[in-house]
């Protein structure tokens, strides 16, 4: 039986951490859909055409080790405004959402476009400053020398591009639980998401 959990929200709000934790808790599969756009963005930085790259995307492309950089994140949000790029990635995501045994997908348009009939929809957010600080620490741990100010500027620019685009803009789905993690620990945020899912099972 399928059971879809849609987790959307802006950059570095905690979607990934929450998604991985609830997927492990309920034994669901997890898809970080940002990786699809990051993989296409990385190929564009290497000179590929965005639409061709999206249409030819393979599972191995999601394993590339450069996908978490700030440069690739910006490239991802630029290819993500192209309707043909998004269209090329829809079937894979919908099939994943409806696989047997349950699935958690995190991204920007999971509850609105990819899986509007998801059993649970959560929109995870936090203030831009808190999100930038979290992403700054993650990037630093991965060896980046970017300043906190530069990370904040990046996050704000990417949020604006994701929110203002015409196709599948980032916004809470109807009926989504809004989870503002600005003042929450990871454990508190995971517990809130776990409760919301448990209530629907
Ligand atoms: O990890 P973070 O939240 O910073 O970003 P991500 O989830 O890896 O997504 C990278 C970029 O891909 C976003 O800024 C969006 O532009 C795009 N994206 C999207 O348009 N739709 C999705 N479902 C997932 C990501």
Give the atom of ligand 1 at the shortest distance from the alpha carbon of 135: 4
Give tens-digit pLDDT for 45-63: 999 999 999 999 999 999 9
| 61 CA distance to ligand 1 middle (Å) | 16
Q: Which residues pair with 30 in a beta bridge?
A: 104
Axis crossing angle, helix 34-45 with helix 70-79, rounded to the nearest 10: 100
Give tens-digit pLDDT for 160-184: 999 999 999 999 999 999 999 999 9
Domain 4-200 falls in which CATH fold? Rossmann fold (3.40.50)
Give the closest residue (by CA) to ligand 1 atom 18. 34
Q: Which residues pair with 8 in a beta bridge?
A: 107, 123
Give the atom of ligand 1 at the shortest distance from the alpha carbon of 79: 16
Residue 29 DSSP label: E
Which residues have a Cβ under 8 Å from the Cβ of 130 and sit 6 or more positions away? 181, 182
The answer to whether the beta carbons of residues 153 and 129 sit under 8 Å apart is no
> 192 falls in which pLDDT band (50, 70, 90)?
very high
Average pLDDT, the chain: 97
pLDDT of amino acid 155: 96
pLDDT of amino acid 161: 96
pLDDT of amino acid 46: 97
Round to whole Å and give the CA distance between 75 and 120. 30
| 35 CA distance to ligand 1 middle (Å) | 7
Specify the pTM: 0.96
Round to whole Å and give the CA distance between 118 and 7. 10
- The residue to mutate among 57, 97, 107, having the most atoms of ligand 1 within 8 angstroms of its beta carbon, is 107
Give tens-digit pLDDT for 69-94: 999 999 999 999 999 999 999 999 99
Give the atom of ligand 1 at the shortest distance from the alpha carbon of 11: 3
């Amino acid at each position: 039986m399928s059971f879809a959990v849609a987790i959307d929200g802006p950059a570095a709000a905690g979607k990934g951490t929450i998604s991985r934790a609830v997927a492990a808790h309920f034994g669901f599969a997890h898809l970080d859909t940002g990786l699809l756009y990051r993989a296409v963005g990385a190929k564009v930085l290497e000179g590929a055409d965005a639409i061709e790259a999206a249409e030819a995307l393979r599972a191995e492309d999601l394993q590339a080790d450069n996908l978490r950089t700030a440069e690739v994140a910006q490239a991802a949000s630029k290819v993500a405004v192209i309707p043909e790029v998004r269209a090329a990635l829809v079937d894979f995501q919908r099939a994943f959402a409806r696989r047997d045994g349950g699935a958690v997908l995190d991204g920007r348009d999971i509850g609105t476009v990819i899986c509007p009939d998801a059993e649970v929809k959560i929109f995870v957010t936090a203030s831009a400053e808190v999100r930038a600080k979290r992403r700054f620490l993650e990037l630093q741990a991965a060896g980046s020398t970017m300043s906190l100010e530069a990370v904040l500027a990046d996050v704000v620019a990417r949020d604006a591009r994701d929110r203002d685009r015409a196709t599948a803009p980032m916004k809470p789905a109807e009926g989504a639980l809004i989870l503002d993690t600005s003042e929450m620990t990871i454990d508190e945020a995971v517990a809130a998401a776990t409760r919301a899912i448990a209530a629907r099972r």
